[in-house]
């Protein structure tokens, strides 16, 4: 299309190119945007659980499990929100394992199986659930074991190509590279040298990171789905039109629904396989992905190391806040 406006909203146009996912625990707000899937995390569930319109749901879970410790009750809260979300979306919901288990493979596997069992006890097929795991070495090894047992994983807190490559190597179902948080890091690093013109649009560092992962995956025929996440603006979303999936907050979904500007496809799986670009060429080599190589490559990426650690810390804090809320 060469026109500057379309009869369709940007959200409708985007849905023709990419699977749109709602990034929220506020399931009442997502209905008007009709996403295919939905994602949650400890911060989003904490935010929703504090809203007056969800107090009945929280109280029902607490009443059904009298005397249960908050650390155990959280699983039932997560699943309760997930069950409500699944009444709205036709596809999948992502539910996150306790971030405090990010460096414990066996505990992560145990928790993931427990969450799946709770969903299945309500008649939900496990194919409609994605278990969210941190993109640590231990989380990736947990995904390897879980995927082998038919429990699909959404690898989150993902900031680097080596994390993405390792997730693909263990056949994780889906990865969630964090666009906005990558951009935040570079914006803070550059300070007054940051320019929205020079460092935005197609050159946005968060956008570029996802493009690099997209080209690597398509070049090597990796089946793991790529879902761009953590967006700060509709510009970042639209620069990734054509990505397998994009998970978007209700605020940005609303902006996309209000605009009729033309959406252009920026990523194409078939051309990524063969097209020479900044990110892939005839000589592209697969990354070394044994444990020591993975840890060294991640360590040598200051942004990814810092944002991964920060993300885990913040999810741990919000999980503890949710526990405190449930203990009241």
- Per-residue pLDDT, 71: 95
pTM assigned to the model: 0.94
Establish if 4 belongs to a structural domain.
no
Establish if 327 belongs to a structural domain.
no
Establish if 264 belongs to a structural domain.
yes
Burial group, residue 303, by CB count within 10 angstroms (0-12, 13-18, 19+): middle
Can you give the residue range of the structural domain that contains 232?
10-320
Check pLDDT > 60 for residue 162: yes
Check pLDDT > 60 for residue 277: no
**DSSP secondary structure string for all residues of 138-179:** HHHHHHHHHHHTT--EEEEEE-SHHHHHHHHHTT-SEEEEBH
Establish if 280 belongs to a structural domain.
yes
Write the pLDDT tens digit of every residue in 217-259. 999 999 999 999 999 999 999 999 999 999 999 999 999 999 9
Establish if 3 belongs to a structural domain.
no
* Torsion sign across C-alpha atoms 144, 230, 33, 79: positive
- Per-residue pLDDT, 1: 41
pLDDT band at 285 (very low <50, low <70, confident <90, very high): confident
- Per-residue pLDDT, 242: 98
Establish if 328 belongs to a structural domain.
no
Which residue in the list 15, 62, 132, 187 is annotated as catalytic? 132
Q: CATH number of the domain at 61, please.
A: 3.20.20.70
Write the pLDDT tens digit of every residue in 16-60. 999 999 999 999 999 999 999 999 999 999 999 999 999 999 999
What is the tally of structural domains in the chain? 1
Is 87 an active-site residue? no
């Amino acid at each position: 299309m060469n026109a500057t406006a379309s009869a369709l909203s940007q959200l409708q146009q985007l849905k023709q190119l990419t699977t749109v996912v709602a990034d929220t625990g506020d399931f009442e707000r997502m209905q008007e945007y009709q996403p295919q899937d939905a994602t949650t995390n400890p911060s989003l569930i904490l935010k929703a659980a504090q809203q007056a319109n969800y107090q009945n749901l929280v109280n029902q879970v607490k009443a059904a499990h009298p005397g249960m410790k908050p650390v155990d009750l959280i699983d039932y809260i997560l699943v309760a929100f997930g069950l409500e979300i699944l009444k709205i979306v036709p596809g999948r919901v992502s539910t996150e394992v306790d971030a405090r288990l990010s460096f414990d493979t066996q505990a992560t596997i145990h928790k993931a199986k427990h969450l799946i069992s709770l969903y299945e006890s309500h008649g939900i097929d496990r194919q409609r659930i994605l278990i969210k795991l941190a993109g640590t070495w231990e989380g990736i090894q947990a995904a390897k074991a879980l995927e082998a047992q038919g429990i699909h994983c959404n690898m989150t807190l993902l900031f680097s190509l080596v994390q993405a490559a390792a997730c693909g190597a263990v056949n994780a179902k889906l990865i969630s590279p964090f666009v906005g948080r990558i951009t935040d890091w570079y914006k803070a690093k550059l300070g007054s040298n940051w320019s929205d013109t020079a460092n935005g649009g197609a050159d946005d560092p968060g956008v570029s990171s996802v493009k690099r992962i997209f080209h690597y995956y398509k070049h090597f025929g990796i089946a793991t789905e790529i879902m761009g996440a953590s967006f700060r603006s509709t510009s970042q979303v639209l620069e990734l039109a054509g990505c397998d999936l994009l998970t978007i907050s209700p605020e940005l979904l609303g902006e996309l629904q209000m605009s009729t500007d033309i959406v252009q496809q920026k990523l194409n799986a078939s051309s990524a396989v063969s097209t020479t670009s900044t990110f892939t060429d005839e000589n592209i080599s697969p990354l070394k992905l044994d444990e020591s190589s993975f840890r060294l490559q991640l360590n040598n990426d200051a942004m990814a190391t810092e944002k991964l650690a920060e993300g885990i810390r913040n999810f741990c804090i919000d999980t503890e806040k949710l526990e405190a809320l449930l203990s009241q």
